[in-house]
Structure 1
Amino acid sequence: MLRKDASTPLTERIEAAARWLEAHSDQPISIVDAARVAAMSQRNFLRRFKLEVGLSPSDYLLKVRLDMSCRFLVETSLPVDKIARRCGIGNGGCELSPLRSQTVFGIKAPGTFRRLGAASFSAYRRQ
């Protein structure tokens, strides 16, 4: 789990919401649902999540999805559009810009990342 400061533990409610986001990252997610998991108002949830984790819930979810996408790129030969759909980034005709536009370990194109393989994924995970 990602967090702003590893020495400071997350509160139970924020940790539960972060785990829920990870477990449901392949599905459409609303902030209202994540706030409900944390038993907080949407406004308080957004504020507390960013304070404790260091990212907004939507940025955290994107990072989780990109991490999953990188694993699929390295471990499978699936096309980018199928990987994006499996990771909740795109569906059918949906724009795949989040996957295609992110720079991961200094590499912009998913195909380039895939060709570099596990070494680039390991370095990415250390970031």
Structure 2
Amino acid sequence: MASTRGRINDAPLYIDDSPNMTLVEIRAKCRRLKQREGLKLVVIDYLQLLTSGKRVESRQQEVSEFSRALKLMAKELQVPVITLSQLNRGAEQRADKEPALSDLRESGSIEQGADMMVLLREPRTKKTASVRVRRT
């Protein structure tokens, strides 16, 4: 356990869980990490927790702008950006309970900017799991 903890502590992993970070702040931090540390991957947990810090017409529009800006950041920094997103309760209303792209919360445009979508769902039993990969 101690050796595993040591490897994790020595790993080039940077976690920033500052509350209420704006996308401008995230992009600036990622640029610095790319320049200083050779940033290789960005994970955003989760998209709907981001804030623009300004008044917007609608939350859906704001989330769409985040999605688009993260795509541009990925291209600029030449690193993959994995963005977690919450689903609405739409799947619970369906008989098969399978999540669909239309279940993405607060935006119909998240999938438009994504290269790939992976939908996870709770297993029906503890022995099975379900993952759906959707190319966009």
Same fold (TM over 0.5): no
TM-score (norm 1): 0.34
TM-score (norm 2): 0.32
Q: Which of the two has greater strand per residue?
A: 2
Q: Which of the two has greater helix per residue?
A: 1
Q: Who wins on radius of gyration, i.e. which is larger?
A: 2
